[in-house]
Amino acid sequence: MSTTAQKNTLKGGEFIIKESQWQDVYIPEQITEEQQMLRQATKDFVTKELDPRLEELDKDPMKGVEVLDKAAELGLLGLHIPEEYGGSGQDLTSFSFVTEVLGWGHGISVAIGAHTGIGTCPILYYGNDAQRSKYLPKLATGEWKAAYCLTEPWSGSDALGARTKAVLTEDGKHYVLNGQKMWITNAGFADIFVVFAKIDGDDKKFTAFILEKNMEGLSTGAEEKKMGIKSSSTRQVFFNNVKVPVENLLGEAGKGHKIAFQILNIGRYKLGNGVLGGAKRAIGVAVKYANERQQFKTPIAQFGAIQGKLGEMAIRAWTAESASYRLCDLILQKEHEAKAAGKTMTEYLTVGAEEYQVECAIMKVVGSEVLDYVVDEALQIHGGYGFSEEYPMARSYRDSRINRIFEGTNEINRMLSIDALLKLAMKGQLDLMTPGMAIQKELMSAPEASSVDADDIFGAERVALKNAKKAFLLVAGGAVQKLMAGLQKEQEILMHSADMLMDIYVMESAMLRAEKLLQLNGLESSQIYVDMVKCFFFDAMDRIATAGKSGLVAYASGDELRMMLMGLKRFTKYEMINTKVVRRAVADKMVAANGYCFWD
């Protein structure tokens, strides 16, 4: 188990109006000895089984079957599957430690993740006992491989626009499926396909089915020629009068949208977690190269421009990681609560990701964009060699790019995070109105000097965080009041608001992690983390101010705009930090360690 029962656990999205304490959060440094052993075994698997075969797998992704079989031998495919269905029943935290390390493995990691995640989880979460008993043991051992079929040539983010059709036979024993899916990971070798179709073509009857590869009429296209993740099999899947037994309907008829969206929710968290492993590994590769590469008789790791890059790469990865494991524990706590309350397996396995859908969307965007930033800078540090296929960064650069498209594009997820937050407010589950009105009242009064506790190492950050939340409520709340239902059409405003929301969540998570490390290890050991947090705050407050201004001018004008801009300026003030010194100090630690060294 990852933690003991915690106090003051926030509800989904509630971080934007309430404060958390360091005691309330989980940090990866709390890893148990058993989890550490599992994590190390996964590292050994990646370095010994995946790394040597990357070029081979890039040329023939069908050989990924052999890798999945090896992963199954180590128990990596059944970690999250309960023991009664052939798995080891590990919790989400243990699964996350493994997923993060598997994120090192490029395209083949996508194949493993698709099998254990979107391929297996629909049956685990929504299958009945007969379906779980039939499929999960073989998925856990790797005897059967899984794929998830949602996207179609004419429907991507608009999943409910799918045209694949299912018609019940006259005898009521089968559904006949016709249609096609595309961009299906593992399609070349999958044995089990979770497929979404509309019964009778009715939009209100969007339904999930479990198909097996030997069903007549199921076929796949050729391997897609992709820019990256070449070592994962990606094909179209075709259904030509495929007869599917009625007992293979997954969940309830007409409830496929619930399955699809819920699997995407947890998938977004898992993607945001997994890509951070790839980011940290890329940083390590960049550090080693910078130590070895000399120019003007000096290792380039000693140059300020390179140190600035290395430091910022590490700060972004570490802060995002803080937010990721905080979310992991929140999801897990909600699961434990539901299980203790006697909820069904479907209910307790899905309640956490559903509760924290705002945070899941945030982490998908944050994680994928941190990875993109890191591999871009790592390639730059390699100079011309980074552009060469003889060096690892070319593959990392190509493979990273898909993550901003997977599990809903980052644009969709930005808008989803705000939409989900507003829906929570409209349902009365989140009181945004009270703090929003308080901010309006504050804007009409003379500004008061913010009181900073001089004895609190994070005194300035607490004030800044509280004000950043006000800035978000000012911009997003003003947009809701001004535009009402029309806000949905103003996607740019939603995007700017989401950028503010994301920075706030990561700021708070990083500060709480550093504060917990202070309590556990003392200032001397934790000073570098304190400095990393302050550096991140310095830049994040600027980003929040910029996004806020862009949002405000999109819907306000005249005196109203001037007043709101004054409020935004008041709410985004932060002390001056010498970020050069911090980034160099972070880089120096990694250079001395010859790799990423901030919990790895």
CATH of the domain at 372: 1.20.140.10
Is the pLDDT score of 446 beyond 90? Answer: no
Which of 250, 278, 303 terminates a domain? The answer is: 250
Print the domain residue range for 76: 20-145
**Confidence band, pLDDT 50/70/90 cuts, at residue 449:** low
At 234-265, the pLDDT tens digits run 999 999 999 999 999 999 999 999 999 999 99
At 20-65, the pLDDT tens digits run 999 999 999 999 999 999 999 999 999 999 999 999 999 999 999 9
Only one residue has tokens 């020629």, namely: 225
**pLDDT confidence of residue 112:** 95
> What is this structure's pTM?
0.95
What integer is the mean pLDDT of 558-579? 95
Q: Are residues 197 and 344 in the same domain?
A: no
**Confidence band, pLDDT 50/70/90 cuts, at residue 162:** confident
Q: Are residues 48 and 106 in the same domain?
A: yes
Is the pLDDT score of 459 beyond 50? Answer: yes
Q: Are residues 362 and 219 in the same domain?
A: no
Is the pLDDT score of 4 beyond 50? Answer: no
Helices 92-102, 304-340: axis angle to 10 degrees equals: 150
Give the single-character DSSP code of 176: E
Q: Which amino acid is at 111?
A: A
Is the pLDDT score of 9 beyond 90? Answer: no
Nearest to 371 by CA among 307, 283, 285, 276: 276
At 269-299, the pLDDT tens digits run 999 999 999 999 999 999 999 999 999 999 9
- What tokens were used for 220? 């796949």
Residue 3 lies in a domain: no
At 177-198, the pLDDT tens digits run 999 999 999 999 999 999 999 9
Is the pLDDT score of 6 beyond 60? Answer: no
Strand pairing report for 165-168 and 192-199: parallel
**pLDDT confidence of residue 1:** 38
Which of 380, 412, 444 terminates a domain? The answer is: 412
Q: Is 515 annotated as catalytic?
A: no
Q: 18 — phi, psi (to 5°)?
A: -130, 160
Residue 2 lies in a domain: no
Q: Are residues 166 and 67 in the same domain?
A: no
Strand pairing report for 174-185 and 165-168: antiparallel
Residue 588: CB atoms within 10 Å: 16
Is the pLDDT score of 402 beyond 60? Answer: yes
**pLDDT confidence of residue 539:** 98
Q: Are residues 153 and 126 in the same domain?
A: no
The CATH number of the domain where 83 resides is what?
1.10.540.10
Coil, strand or helix at 122: helix
Q: How many domains does the chain have?
A: 4
Is the pLDDT score of 71 beyond 70? Answer: yes
Is the pLDDT score of 445 beyond 90? Answer: no
Q: Are residues 335 and 435 in the same domain?
A: no
Q: Are residues 223 and 260 in the same domain?
A: no
Residue 442 lies in a domain: yes
- What tokens were used for 276? 């951070």
Residue 422 lies in a domain: no
Q: Are residues 583 and 434 in the same domain?
A: yes
Question: Torsion angle, CA of 41/44/49/53, rounded to 10 degrees?
Answer: 140
**Confidence band, pLDDT 50/70/90 cuts, at residue 155:** confident
Residues 100, 312, 407, 515: which is the catalytic one?
A: 407
**Confidence band, pLDDT 50/70/90 cuts, at residue 200:** very high
What integer is the mean pLDDT of 427-445? 88
- What tokens were used for 326? 């905080």
At 480-511, the pLDDT tens digits run 999 988 998 999 999 999 999 999 999 999 99
Q: Are residues 118 and 32 in the same domain?
A: yes
Helices 92-102, 106-114: axis angle to 10 degrees equals: 150
Rounded to whole angstroms, the Cα distance separating 587 from 599 reads 15
Q: Across-strand partners of 298?
A: 295
What integer is the mean pLDDT of 333-339? 95
Going 64 to 69 to 74 to 78, the CA torsion angle's sign is positive
Share of the chain above pLDDT 90, in %: 90
**pLDDT confidence of residue 7:** 55
Which of 93, 116, 145 terminates a domain? The answer is: 145
What integer is the mean pLDDT of 532-537? 98
Question: Which carries the bigger pLDDT value, residue 539 or residue 445?
Answer: 539
Q: What is the DSSP string of 467-491?
A: HHHHHHHHHHHHHHHHHGGGGGG-H
Is the pLDDT score of 458 beyond 70? Answer: yes
Per residue, what are the HEC states of 494-540?
A: HHHHHHHHHHHHHHHHHHHHHHHHHHHHCHHHHHHHHHHHHHHHHHH
Residue 481 lies in a domain: yes
Rounded to whole angstroms, the Cα distance separating 570 from 453 reads 19
Only one residue has tokens 């929504």, namely: 126
Residue 5 lies in a domain: no
- What tokens were used for 210? 């479990």
Q: Show Cβ contacts of residue 416 under 8 Å, excluding neighbours closer than 6 positions.
A: 357, 361, 408
Share of the chain above pLDDT 70, in %: 98
What integer is the mean pLDDT of 88-112? 93
Tell me which long-range contacts 339-347 makes (C-beta under 8 A, separation of at least 24).
345/82, 345/125, 346/125, 346/126
**pLDDT confidence of residue 50:** 92
**pLDDT confidence of residue 472:** 97
What integer is the mean pLDDT of 504-523? 97
Q: Are residues 509 and 456 in the same domain?
A: yes
Residue 126 lies in a domain: yes
Q: Which amino acid is at 148?
A: Y
Question: Which carries the bigger pLDDT value, residue 323 or residue 159?
Answer: 323
**Confidence band, pLDDT 50/70/90 cuts, at residue 3:** very low
Rounded to whole angstroms, the Cα distance separating 280 from 127 reads 36
N-to-C CA span, the chain: 20
Q: Are residues 134 and 35 in the same domain?
A: yes
- What tokens were used for 216? 């007549």
For the chain, how long is the longest CA-to-CA vector?
A: 81
Residue 421 lies in a domain: no
Residues making up the chain, counted from first to last: 600
Q: Are residues 136 and 154 in the same domain?
A: no
The CATH number of the domain where 169 resides is what?
2.40.110.10
